[in-house]
Chain A
Amino acid sequence: MTQINSKIPEGPLAEKWKNYKDHQKLVNPANKRRLDIIVVGTGLAGASAAASLSEMGFNVLNFCIQDSPRRAHSIAAQGGINAAKNYQNDGDSVYRLFYDTIKGGDYRAREANVYRLAEVSNSIIDQCVAQGVPFAREYGGLLDNRSFGGAQVSRTFYARGQTGQQLLLGAYSALSRQIGLGKVKLYKRHEMVDIVKIDGRARGIIARNLVTGKLERFAAHAVVVATGGYVNAFFLSTNAMGSNGSAAWQCYKKGAYFANPCYVQIHPTCIPVHGESQSKLTLMSESLRNDGRIWVPKKKEDAEAIRAGQLKPTQIPEEDRDYYLERRYPAFGNLVPRDVASRAAKERCDAGFGVGNTGLAVYLDFADAINRLGKKVVEQRYGNLFQMYEKIVDDNPYETPMMIFPALHYAMGGLWVDYELMTSVPGLFAIGEANFSDHGANRLGASALMQGLADGYFVLPYTIQNYLADQIQVPRFSTNLPEFGEAEKNIQDRINHLMNIRGKRSVDSIHKELGHIMWEHIGMARNAEGLKKAIEQLKALKQEFWTNVRIPGQGDDLNIELEKALRLADFIEIGELMAHDSLDRAESCGGHFREEYQTPEGEALRRDDHFPYVSCWEYQGDNQDPVMLKEPLDYEFVVRQQRNYKN
C-alpha cells in the first residue's frame, strides 16, 4: 500500500518552517526565467501566488474563468483576516493563533502546517498595508481589530464589511503590475478542463476558451491549482455561481489524492431561502455576531404565531426569548465557532422554534447593541451589511431583528497536499481553499483569507522552488506532444457526448436535484442510513444526467449551458465521494456531524482512537470505488480535547 509522506520538517514546532527554509533548494535568478508555471485561479491564493512567483522571475501563465482576475470569489469575504499581531495587547501570539485554529478545526488539521500559517500571518498584514489595502484604523492612525468566532482575543483585521474585496484587489493589483510588465500572461474566460501529465509529472493543462468554445493547450514545468472549493455541489451555497470543483476533480482523476471531502462548512448567518427560484444564498458576515444576539421564541406557540404572520418579533417580551447560544455556551456566547452555531440553529428549528414563514430561520437581533452603542456606531460597523440585508429581504434590521439560517459556505476538504503544498502528483500544487491542509474539520472565521494569502505570498513561492530546483535542465515542452493530444481528445469526446444527449432536462434542474440530495443526507446532520441512500440516489442522478440532459447550442462556441453541464458532471461525482467519506468517518467532528455520534447534550462526539487521520481518496477509474489511504495525524505538541466553548 502506498505510504503517505507529508514531508513535515524535523524539529520543534516553532522551528520547522525556519528549518525548512534554511535547507530547501532554491532556483537561481537566471534559471527562474527558464521555468514556466501555470497558476489556475486568480483568487487570493492564485493571484498572490502568480504575482509573487512572477516577481521572483518565473514565467507565469495565469487562468481565470471570469472576465477579469478581480472577480474571483475571494472578493466576497466580508468580515476580516486573522493575524497574531497582538496589537490589542490582549495576549495574542503565534502559538495562540495556532492553538485556536487547531482547536477550531476539531483537532483534524496538521500541526506543522497550522503553525506555519500562524507564523506567516503577520507578514500578510504588513504586505497588504504596503499594497494600499485600506484596513480600518483608529483615530490614532493605527490598525483596528475586531473579534471573530472561536477566539478570545481581537485579532481580526478588517476593511468595513469588504475585507475579502480589499485583500483581493491588493493581490489583483500586484498581479496586474506583473501582467502590465509582461511577466504574467493572463488567460481570462478560460476554464481548466484537464491536467496533462508527462512521465508522471504535471506538465500542463487543457483549457476551454469560454468565448470561442475552443480547447487550448498550455505547457509548463509545474501547475498550481488555486480554484477554490466544491460546495456548489449543494446547488445553494454562499459561493459564486461559477465556483466549481472541476479543476480539483480533474487533478483527482489524474492521481492527486482528494482529502477529507466530507468536511464542508455550514455558515450560521446567511439570509434564509425565499423560494424555488433561489439561485444562491447570501452570507451575512460573522462579524455581526460581535454585537448581534441570536434568539428564537421560548414558547412554541409564539414561534407558530410568528410563522403564521400574526406576531412580530419585536412583540415578544425579553423573558420569552431564548438566546440559545448564550444559554448553551456561556463562555463564548454568540461567538462560538461556525459549526457549533449552525447546529444549534438547526436544533432549535427542528424542535419547532424556528421563525420566518418556512420555520427555517432564527433571529439575529441588534436592539441591544443599538441601545448600548447608539444607531450611529452600529451603522458605522455594519451599515453596508444592513443595507444589503434590506435590499434582499425588504426588512429594516435597525427596527426588526434579522432572520438568518445556516448555509453551505466553505470546503475544508480538498486536494491532499504535503507540507510543500504539492499534491500526490509531482509538479502539481494546490493552494487556498482548493487544498485541504490547514482548517481540519472546521474553519474559523477570518482564517480563509489568511490561508489563501499565506499559501500564495509566503509558502508556495518558497516550497515550489524545492521542486523546480531539479527541473532547471528540463527544456520547455511542446504542446504537440501526444500526452496533450490525448488529453484534449478525451475532453473533446466528453463534450461531444454531452452535446449529443439532447435529453429533456436542463442542467439547473438536475443540479437542484443534486442539491436536495446533498442537503438532505450529506448536510448539517448525517447518518449511515441516509448516506447509503444518498449514494444510491446519486448513482441514479448520474445516470439521469448522462442520459437526459439537454444542452442547446454548439460545443465549440460560447455555451453557458455546456459550461454548467461540465461542472455539474463533476459535482455529482464529488457528491458521491463526499458521501463515501462521510459514511466512512464514523465520528462527529467539526463540520462533519454524524447523528450516531453525539454527546448526551447533543455536542459532536469525536472518536480520536479511531479517526485521528486524514482520509486521502485515490481515484481508481470511472466505475470503481476509490481507495482510501490514511495520513495519520500524530499530535506532538497539542493534546486533543473535547472542544469546549461552554466555560
Chain B
Amino acid sequence: MWLLNSSIGRKLIMSISGVFLILFLLFHASMNVAAVFSEEAYNAICSFLGANWYAVAATLVLAAGFLIHIIYAIWLTLLNRKARGSDRYAVNVRPKNVEWASQNMFILGLIVVGFLGLHFTQFWYKMMFAELMGHHEVALGSGMVSPQDGAAFIRYYFSNIIVVALYLVWYVALWFHLTHGFWSAIQTIGWSNGIWLKRWQAISNIFATLICLAFAFVTIFFYLKSIL
C-alpha cells in the first residue's frame, strides 16, 4: 500500500491528518470565543457535544486523527534519523529562510501533546468522559458542577495564573507548529507552486496567529474577569 510504504504516501497521511486537526482547532477556537460573548451559548454547545452518539463518533474520529498524526510523526522521525546516517555534523547552522519551526516540528508536537494531556484531565475528562460514565456532577475545586457547564470550568481554571501561563506557553508552541504545519501540508498534497508557496506561507502565519490569538484571548479574558 503506497500510503504506508512510500515516503510521499506517508507524508500525505501526515498532511491530511494535520489538515483535519487544523479544522478541528478552527472549530474549537470559534466555540471558545462564543464563551466570551455568552456563557449560555457556550454551555449549549457543550451539552450538544456531550454524551450523544454523534459527538462520541466525532470524538472517536478526532482521536483517530490525533493518533494517526502522532504515530506517523514518530515513525517518520525515526525513519528520518536513520536516513541521516550514524555520523552527525559537528557544526550545524540553520540557513536563512529556513523557519526554526520547520526543523523542530517533532519537539513542538511533543509539547503540544504534553499540554493536551493537562487539558484533557482538566476539561475533557471531567466533561465528556464524566458524562459518558453517567456522572451528573463532578468535583471542580471545592464545589460540584454539571459536566455540561463548560463555562464553569473555564472560569475555574483560568482564574489560576499558573494554569493561564501554562496554556499561553501551549499556544505559543501550537503557533509555531501551525505556521509550518499548515503550508507544509498543502505543499505535500501538491497544491503549491512558485507563487502559491509564498501565499500559503502567509496564510499559514495569519491562520496560526488567529487561532492562537483566539485561544489566548479567551484565556486572558477569563483570567482578567476573575481578578477584576
A–B touching in complex (CB under 8 Å)? no
Using a CB–CB distance below 8 Å, which chain B residues touch chain A?
Answer: none
Using a CB–CB distance below 8 Å, which chain A residues touch chain B?
Answer: none
